[in-house]
Structure 1
């Protein structure tokens, strides 16, 4: 028999050679991914050159090599394998080998366990890794990441399948993995699932003492050890870092001062966790007895105030206090005015009887401890000073926007703060006693003083001043008279309806509205100051008043520093019924009184080069307005009211863009049956005037009888509808009306002007007077001349009849000639003066 081992024949035997199949590695488990070699040996073969047939199950593969390698075996490689040898030249073959089973196992999973879990700080933690039952495995340990190998330190130990952590700490917490390896075969198991190591802190012990707070010599103190977690603890006590041989109970009692010191405790038990941390130190100190401190607020106090005595002994809340008065051992006698709380003694409605020395002393009632008695403190009670509140300026009415000053006068030399109140609410606090309110505000004001050093009340509350702030006032202007009588004075009177105190008055004349000038709020007019525009009196007089003074006037008042101004007054007007040189107001029908529902036309007829005429009217309570604004319609220079109503009664006039005024007409519109037709303009003395009484329903009474009245006195009885005054005089000026059994007309004023000579009339009168005087002088001259002739005339220097005896006639002649010359000169001068 020949046994072929691939290198030669060692033994020869007769018969067919036998193939023997061997699988390497020879382990009982072959894992997926390993390299597997199948080796075929031919027994009893006589030749060496073989080729091999490999059969897996029913599939054959031919290979000249007697080894068949599977580099990375898979589960699919599982099966029965056989081999057959065939000689290349002799065409001999061996017998098939026996079948050998190849079993491929998947890579094993790794199992990781932790004990204990959770762990406590300082304990030993063991991690155990297992991969089936095969003992050929070694293990690798990972932390925090799958491929991050644990960094070993002195407290880490690895032994076979275990990883040990001694004295576990928080830094050991985290995720852990493990993985097995067979180094001889380069096999690694599947990495384990992660496990978490949790390291918990040991329970904490704490020490507390009773009683709490400062401890004093002679006291007994109970110490207690508290452990919040778990039960079944045995307690151990330490003083000044030494274990005490005292019972292992939760509490222990010590005596002061001998056993003062630093105390700690800890707990132990038979189950996990087996111990606690050592507690923090509690220092037991023996304190010296404290001294009570007594304070009094306020001090000095004022009669009626509440006085509080406060006693303190450190910050301990366990103290109760005893109060003494006049003597350090004489306890205060309590009354209804006294209140005692934990550490205060309160005196209500302090009086002089409360004055004196006071002490206090603290006691801890649950412990035999008393403080050192306080130093004495003296309470002084005196009368509170009076506060007096005054208002400057002390006007009875204050208006919105005005500035006022409240002054608080408090007698006393202490440093105080002044507090001003409005309706009980503090609004101003300063060290100065004055409160300037700008602008003034409504309210009931009082003041009082506070002690600057402690903020306590110093004075009595002052008298109250009610400050009522009114809306900004409007000045009220009146013009008297409102109708101009040339040469007379006109008085402007200005006032503030709500107040008459402290005002100065400003006087203005209205001018056409111009942007940038002082103007009324409705921009109807601008205003310019009159000369002597500021007066302390409430009136302003135009002396004498003339046509140039017609127009609108405005006033306002101001007072205080800084000056507070009222609103401008409504404009008031000074009218003239006389025709003006620049323009005249013409009305159609040409009368003062008109029936309602009739048409009325008013026109501005210009007399010289003036432009921008507007027709305006003034009504009581409605003020001034312009035609076309909300009444009348404009066509050229004519304003027409198609159907007049009673409310259209008022004064009408024309006003130019430069501020000139026409004559004004006071028109009355009446709903009654009768109206009086009278001239709308003043009448000149000596002229004839006819007053007519017009009946709205004239056709129903063709022959009416009416009475005429002047100033309420009957002057014509049952006459016709007209009354004529052939030559009016100043005495005919007045109010006229007519009356019948059908009704009564309104009154109308008839104005009579005296004769005012014009320039031509004056010259004519002067010439006439001059001629008359000249005639008289001429007659005197002729008489003198005749007498001179009768006397023989002047002596002739050449006449023969001239004798010295005639020299007595010479002075008379000279005087005559002088008289003639004087008369002649006066006549010439008089004529020249009248002509000029």
Structure 2
């Protein structure tokens, strides 16, 4: 086999392609039928360059101690002489460093005390094919009573920690060894452990470090262990556990309930490890003191510029505190007029002013701790400006008349510690017989008033106990007139005639002084009114009269003169008339409406306003009014214009209105009306001679004219009813109507719905003679029958003789005898019924003339014919017998030429010998000529006299005698 067709197989003698450094690896190259004369070529990564380190005589390539440089892809070839095989399959080697395990503590902290437990773990990330060895300070450790390993050594447990710390404290690490291959990892990271010999004792702190504290003061405790970590702290007061955690226990604002003895303790671990208790701390909580505030100056209520002194202090411990001052809860600002001592225990206001007014308080602040006393009770300091006396008039008016009194008072509000001095026109008043002063000169009386007392008065005051003097009071002017005034009376409106409901206001004024009470009079009688105005808000006829007024005042009554008089005449308010100026009060869209409003005999004094349903009418493009409102026009009515209209006049110059006019209801329909067409009777199928009446109606408004149409043809009728008294087929068709009204731009309704009628011809009645031919020989009675042709209805019948109704007879048959009708009358009939059609047409008349003559002549002819037929029959028999012999000799058969009477009667097509004699002319002609008309008859064949012509020729009929047999000719 040529070598070129040989491909060696390369195999790896190792657990997998991942090789750790220092491991041994062998590659084996095998060809089919291996021979010792073969050589082996090895390649890695670069196929063109053989690997020089390989032994060409060996089929294996061995790596004794793998390194990172041995990573790569390997191939091999086999060579014999000049022949070289193809390349083998490739094998990739990945040479890696052994993994470094990770050491992690499974419990915290890493320094422990006797009886605590500590766990460490060692693991190779992502692989479980390793076992582990442990080292402390570089020396391998083994299990004992305090140290244990799990099955593969991945977890080291120290439990419980021994008393001797030196043996177990140190730096711990681990190494990993492969379970299936001789590979050892490098050292893991190291963890430092510390094992203590005894329990720690926490250190407890307190701030502030005092035994006594005040309510509201903050107190902070701290608890710490200076070795290890992971501690949880427990707090106790008076031996009871507190609901607190953490190494700090803070009381933000102490209360008496916080008093007691405090200590702390620390613990940690799943298996609880407690430290010793800390030292104790005692806390006593007292209420914060309240400083005392005192007034050191004489008066708590001071005037401007007076001095004020205050002091503040805490009893028995004032030296521990400094003080701060407050006015109205705001800190007092020190300035030139306000000062305090170095520790704030005193406050001085050298010159009080308005800004110092308020409630003062103080509060102590501890010199060494952030705690304050409570705020002292407040002290209200009232600072008054030097008051100004108030001068007031005790009488009600500034100017008076002779005989009246003037009284003045000067005083300080809420104070009687003043004496007063009086001035008029700037000069001090001295004692005078016409002047009188009250106690402390606080009042002045001028009585009786004199013109010389006129002037400007003022007063001032001086304090009885302090060196304080006021400024001058306000000024009051007093005027004393020489004579009585006369009131001026006014009226609005200033007219003599007013309308009921109109307001009228009277005024009465005195242009000097004040304090007047006014009296009002009508027709000299005092009215129950007061004040300088007498207003009548809505006058009535009772308010008509002559009015005047007068004024008075004072306890000792002082009256003015009477005013001028005013006359008032009250008339009823007019009612305007509202009129419709357009034809209709109810209109349709687009129709015009015109209204007018006016007051009779005084229309020019008023302007008018329009209302619809009590709301003012708004003008727009379709609604307008005249300049004075006397007319209102709606150019094109619509739905919004529907309502009750009214109007009211308003006086052109006075605030008075007329009454509202009567209302006028304007109905505006939503749409153009449709004419309503009705038919009476309401049948679509009508019968000739019936009466039909159409009624056209627009059931709203009025003034309508009606237009009638049959199909598209305009009819001449203009009234609301169109009647056809006797219909004929030409009246068949569809009838419609509509309405219109107005001349210009006439409004037309919509066409009504159509009403259709179809005029039918009434069923026809005919008179039929029921007597047969056999009866013509045996009776004198003619039987008539009334038949309504082509009708399926059930009829009753009415018979007429000579156009007069035969009463009480409604059968379809009527018997006529010579005795009943010797005049041979004309008979007619018609059918009647309760339904429609209620009657048929009247039949054509049937006349009964010559009834007896026809019967006798008919019997004579019948007898001749009877015997003639017998004779003929006998002759026929003889002839038949004579010819029979000849027929027999010739054997020829001949048909019978003659029929017997029985054979004739048996045949339907036998000739009727009486048919040609039914009329008078035929009977005579038959008697003269003896001709046969060839008619076919039977015994019961009725006489054919249904037509008028036939009836005239056969007016007589056979009748039945009383005995029912044949009667002889008479």
Give the alignment's TM-score, normalised by structure 2. Answer: 0.37
Higher Rg: 2
> Which one has a larger percent strand, Structure 1 or Structure 2?
1
Give the alignment's TM-score, normalised by structure 1. Answer: 0.42
